[in-house]
Amino acid sequence: MPAASSSKVRKTFQADASFVHTWYIADVQDKTLGRAVTKIASVLRGKHKATFTPHADAGDFVVVINANKVRLTGKKWDDKKYRDHSLFPGGLKELSAKELLGRHPADLVKRAVWGMLPKGPLGRRLYKKLKVYAGSEHPHVAQQPKPLALS
């Protein structure tokens, strides 16, 4: 059996519950939905930090403003469908992206982020740290959110 080397052993970082969750504000006005939401989901998950741990809630809070001014490319405003079912016969409800934006502007961003988060207890916990508002007003001024650069 070979002798242990005297060099330092690298260990994988394992996060504990002592995280400081910072607040970010993301303005999605005139941003493409998918590209903006991938960055938002990454920040919620904590992948932008060196201390990322897949099984822990290491992410930050994200406040999304101007959700009613997000862009979709191509014919997605008419062709993209959002489906919900009541689990009763004939209970399928289908809305296009344009109809969903008209009825619930924040839901377009919320549904896109939800699709990019892990499913299960961790994903539900991360999703609660997302705050989406249709306009530019939000009640989280006291948290002093930092601007989030969306490419």
For residue 96, pLDDT beyond 70: yes
Fold classification of 23-147 is Ribosomal Protein L13p; Chain: A; (3.90.1180)
The answer to whether the CB of 27 falls within 8 A of the CB of 43 is: no
Residue 9's pLDDT band (cuts 50, 70, 90) = confident
Q: Where are the domains of the chain?
A: 23-147
Report the predicted TM-score, pTM, of the whole model to 2 decimal places: 0.89
* Mean confidence (pLDDT) of the chain: 93
Q: Find all residues with CB under 8 Å of 25, minimum gap 6, and list them.
A: 62, 63, 64, 65, 138, 140, 145, 146, 147, 148
Q: What is the pLDDT of residues 20-48, one digit of tens each?
A: 899 999 999 999 999 999 999 999 999 99
